[in-house]
Amino acid sequence: MGKVIRILTNVKLAVIYYSSTGTNYELSKWAEAGAKDAGAEVKVLKVPELAPEAAIASNPAWKAHVEATKDVPEATSDDIEWADAIIFSVPTRFGNVPSQLKQFLDTQGGLWATGKTVNKVVSAMTSAQNPHGGQEATLLSLYTSMMHWGAIIVPPGYTDQILFGAGGNPYGTSVTQGQDGKMVEDVEGAVKHQAKRTVEVAKWVKSGMSS
C-alpha cells in the first residue's frame, strides 16, 4: 500500500525561466534543488529567446549567459502537459513579465482550450534592478494569467521565517540585482522553501485527484 501512495504523489515539476544575464537561471537551479529535496522529478527549462542577436552581442554579460546555457532545453507545450506543478522565474519588465515568457504563455492556447492547464500548481519568482522596480506587480501579472489557466496558485506567503531575510515578498521570492550583476539579498533559502512548498501542495492536489 505504501508503494502505491508514493507513485500517486510523485510530483513532476517544470521550472520554467527566462534570464538574460543569469539571475533567474540561478534562482531556477535553487528551485530545482529544493524541489528534488522534497522528492519531485524536476525539469529546468528556458523559454525561447526573442531578442535579436545584435542586441545580445552588444552586452557581454548577456552573450556569456546565452552561451553558458545553450544546452538548457527550451520549454514546450509538452512540458506544460507533463508537469503537475510549474515554477516560473523571470525578471520584471516595466512591472510585467518579459516578452519572451509572454509569448510562451500566449502559445499555450491549445492546452488551455482543452482543459490541460486546469489544476496545475503554480508559483513564481522574479528579479529587478532595485527593490521597487516592479517585482510584486510582475508576479501578480503572471498570476492573473494563471487564473485564466485554472491553475492553483501557491505563493510563499509568510510560511517560514527565512522569507523575511529575503525581503518578505508574500507573492513569490524576489531579488534585487546590483549594478555589479550580483544579487543583493540572500534568497537561496527562500527559493528552496518556496519550491518545497509548491511540491508539497502539488502532492496534496495530485493525491486528491487520484483518490
Beta bridge partners, 44, equal 15
What pLDDT does residue 1 have? 43
Separation of alpha carbons 194 and 209, rounded Å: 22
Full set of structural domains in the chain with CATH = 10-210 (3.40.50.360)
> Using alpha carbons only, what angle is made at residue 29 by residues 25 and 31, rounded to the nearest 5 degrees?
115
137 phi/psi in degrees, rounded to 5: -65, -35
Beta bridge partners, 104, equal none
Residue 2 clears pLDDT 50, i.e. is over it: no
pTM for this entry = 0.93
Give me 154's grid cell: 501557491
Each residue of 60-80: pLDDT tens digit? Answer: 999 999 999 999 999 999 999
Each residue of 130-154: pLDDT tens digit? Answer: 888 999 999 999 999 999 999 999 9
Residue 56 clears pLDDT 60, i.e. is over it: yes
Separation of alpha carbons 64 and 100, rounded Å: 18
